[in-house]
A and B are shown apart, each in its own frame.
Chain A
Amino acid sequence: MKIVVPIKRVIDHNVRVRPTADGTGVDSTSVKMAINPFCEIALEEAVRLKERGLASEVLVVTIGTAAAQEQLRGALAVGADRALLIETERALEPLAVARTLTRVVEEERPGLALLGKQAIDSDDNQVGQMLAALLGWPQATFASAVELEGEKARVTREVDGGMVTLELALPAVVTADLRLNEPRYARLPDIMKAKKKPIERRTLEEMALDLPAQTEVLAVETPTPRQRGVILDSVDALIDKLRNVEKVIR
């Protein structure tokens, strides 16, 4: 069984992001880029399933600029078998990403599509659910455990009230939450080997999909920061402030 893992190149989570000078985008010039952390977790899970003999091939795919090859190489170095870049300069909305991935899935016919639950740049949390809808597949979002048994996947999901376990008939879509696993680091020899592996490339245009933009970003701003408060010298002073100044406790 093949597993497809869609990954996204994003600004590294440690970078303090800023709006662009014209205030309509996010400044990504010369900042550190990385694989979206949730995609890393999805990939790690796919590689582990393969190592346990439950999957035969792991295909990573990204829709993005030529620079995203860096993240695909990173994915090859930690155990992906094949990498596909669908090249475009456009920043696609989640529905357009899902439509493009639907085409890839229809061609590749995997038993499982494993995605991150959300991209930490746009924080959309949509693509996996949309992909499942377009394919007519069952879904398990926010996975913290995935087991494969024959034609079925048993997935534990992290939800607001605790945990829910679902069973899905394959093929299915699963999106990874933080606690699914801890991704490994690439070893140097594997990084060297990954440099030689081919990356399949095609352009988004040649796929001839109809992907109209539905939204326009009018502005990107830094929210007004909270004012730094005061350091108090005793528990008594704190209780006094909360009780008599803020009136948030009795």
Chain B
Amino acid sequence: MEIKNFKYALPKEGFSDIRYQEYKNTLIKGTKEKIDEVSMIRKNGGNVRVLKGGGFGNYAFTDPADVEMAFREATIASELNPGKETLKRVEFHREHIRVSPEKDPRSISVKEKKDLLQKYIDLIMDNSKIVDLESQYYEQFTDTIILNNQGTEIRQEELICGMSFRMTSKEGTLTQMTRLSFGGTESFDELLNKEQEVKEKVKQTVDLLHAKTISGGNYDVILDSDVGGLFIHEAFGHLSESDNLIGNQTLAETMELGTKFAMKDFNVIDDPTKKGHPGSYVFDHEGTKAKKVSLITDGNLTGRLHSMESASYMDEDPTGHARAKNFGFTPIVRMGNIYIDKGTSTLEQMIQSIDDGLYLFGSAGGQTSGETFTFAVQGGYRIENGRITDMVRDISLTGHLFTTLKNIEMVGNYVEFSKAGGCGKAGQILIQSGKGSAPIKIKNMGIGGQ
């Protein structure tokens, strides 16, 4: 994979770029008993873009000999779009980024990784109430060249490894499912010595069998850091991805900078430069340097996430948030590590402020569409008269974005980040997407129970 093999093919007219990538993925999957799958994927391919007409033309390919054909096709596609768009805000960089993990997972044998996963499987299945388990070790390494006809020449390595578990407990006909993740960084160290966390999650999964159900309705809730991260990702993060705003003037007006969205003590940041999280990186897949962006400051909308195209459209600075799952996909605006920054309340103060509500823990997936969002949690506790009481189960939440942000009443005084990210958008699942949060209290949240 050499730069000269691709650089010559860049069309000179308009804007053009190429991202060529070597992609290596190792997956080790386990059942409730054993490791039943080891999968070692190697793929190479490229993705080219041309902006000569009224919009980008994109073309992906796997045979390096197709690079010239790909540019021809992308040029035709761009010219099909009437007009002549240009990029007003483009950064140029020449850099080679190499990963240097404390303990490189690529230097560790498949057997060692398998043995570690098996150790955790055995620990989980040691409890007879756990009846099913899906477990996985994942390791993804990419070596990417990003070139454009404006002078950018980036070569960047990216590495992420982690473990994830979905365990199911059962009693009678009732089942409960929880999730546990470790790692989400470039170092294998982060996966070692997690026995205590595993045991605690197993206990929680079994305890949920004796939890109570709740009636659907509106509740005052406290979200723990994991759920808070999912909330801000789904409820606000996607809307801050500015590719939504291109050609959509009405939405751009809704998202006008300076608009008051939440209380004064509420701050939201996206920071890919924060090291050691799933969404940490140096350059995005357009070759723009990643930047920390304050999305909401003191409750007001102060920033958004950009690609080159959306930054040019909005006449704002590019933030380095255009990324793709792999070479088969075109870069789109994605969150890096989004989080709700710490406030001033202690968790105790937050609990004491609620007479009848819920404390919710553990994210279990979510989705957003326009102004509404939904997400599920692994479980929770009732809060009665300022005290945590019974454990509750089978809970999902829904809400209207702008109303819910206004209903945030307290923000906790510490931030924790989730060890696993992952986000789906436009048919691309990106595992390098991080989230975190301070615990938050939201009043009057819609809960779907039984």
> Do A and B actually bind?
no
